[in-house]
Amino acid sequence: MPELPEVESLRRSLEPYIIGQDIRSVLVYKPKLVSAHGTVRLENLAKVAEFERELPGETISSIQRVAKNLLIHLQSGKVLLVHLKMTGQLVYQEGNENKALGGHPIQMSEQELPNKHSHIIFRLSRGTLYYNDVRMFGYVLYYPNLMTLQSIHSFDQLGMEPLSDAFDLELFKKELKSRKRVLKTALLSQDIVVGLGNIYVDEVCFRAGVSPHRVTNTLKEAELVKLYEAIKMILARAVEQGGSSVANYIMADGSRGTYAREHAVYGRAGKPCLICKTPLESTKIQSRTTVSCPQCQS
């Protein structure tokens, strides 16, 4: 599952290629991917027709990320919302060369495009943008303007964006202290900070020296500050490294994400702690595997 650093890395890599390009045509092979965004989705052929009618002739003006959503803005004000979910991927190709590739790693897409997972194809003025998805939980939705998109996808219920100036220490402390929740659950919830998935929460708690099992209203001032700093540091580093997720994460420019090599706890249960050598413990929080050091984290 692509996490925030992978989606941000993909955004940054697509940006220099697709901005300013015109959409020449759009092909939709799997109608349900452009029909709606729920778990159970019916094919809506009117949505497909709208997609194929409204997009050709438009110029891409910017690409924005909100949590794990990508918003492709068109010059006229129209917007495309892309969510990769579990197994989605975007690849931008010029000639036969993959210029930008990111999201879920799909081996086949490195050799052959389109392939059986290519469900939406945008022909642009200089190249082709493929939306590929193995299990098809992702979506690419068309909106005539940003206001309509926002009336349906309530981004304002999301927590703070950790890579932006909006990530405020005082607000972060207040949100954690004001409710009694298990720390890991609170950080995964997306209502305080967005973009922290299972991997990054474990890494953040380790770096901050705080147990993910702690109850949030018992966290001390110094611990809250350490958690805040760890979130900023770890996510910034992960974006720089192209994200991690599972080993072999493919970056938008075709190289492999290398952040996985830097995981201190995730995927290392039973192995010695990098600081004190104590074997790392594996537990479950809300049925999510959680790895921490019983010595360094309290």
Select which of 11, 12, 47, 68 is catalytic: 68
State the nearest-atom distance from the C-beta of 277 to Zn ion, in Å.
7
**Alpha-carbon distances, residue 69 vs 2, 19, 111, 194, 246 (angstroms):** 11, 18, 27, 11, 20
Nearer to Zn ion by Cβ, of 119 and 214: the residue is 214
In the annotation, is 116 catalytic?
A: no
Member of 28, 101, 260, 273 binding Zn ion (CB under 5 A): 273
Nearer to Zn ion by Cβ, of 234 and 293: the residue is 293
Specify the stretch interacting with Zn ion by CB under 5 A; choose among 49-57, 87-95, 250-258, 271-279: 271-279
In the annotation, is 2 catalytic?
A: yes
Site size toward Zn ion, by CB under 5 A = 7
Which single residue brings its beta carbon nearest to Zn ion? 273
Instruction: Tell which positions 276-295 bind Zn ion, by CB under 5 A.
Output: 276, 278, 293, 295
Binding mask 210-249 for Zn ion (x = CB under 5 A): ----------------------------------------
Cis omega before residue 114 (within 30°)? yes
In the annotation, is 12 catalytic?
A: no
User: Between helices 198-208 and 221-240, what is the axis angle to 10°?
Assistant: 130
State the nearest-atom distance from the C-beta of 276 to Zn ion, in Å.
3
Select which of 30, 123, 126, 288 is catalytic: 288
Q: Residues 248-262, buried b or exposed e (16+ Cβ, 10 A)?
A: ebbbbbeeebbbbee
Nearer to Zn ion by Cβ, of 49 and 276: the residue is 276
Select which of 3, 54, 203, 223 is catalytic: 3
Nearer to Zn ion by Cβ, of 198 and 211: the residue is 211
**Residue positions annotated with a catalytic role:** 2-3, 68, 288
Where do contacts with Zn ion occur on this chain (CB under 5 A)? Answer: 273, 275-276, 278, 293, 295-296
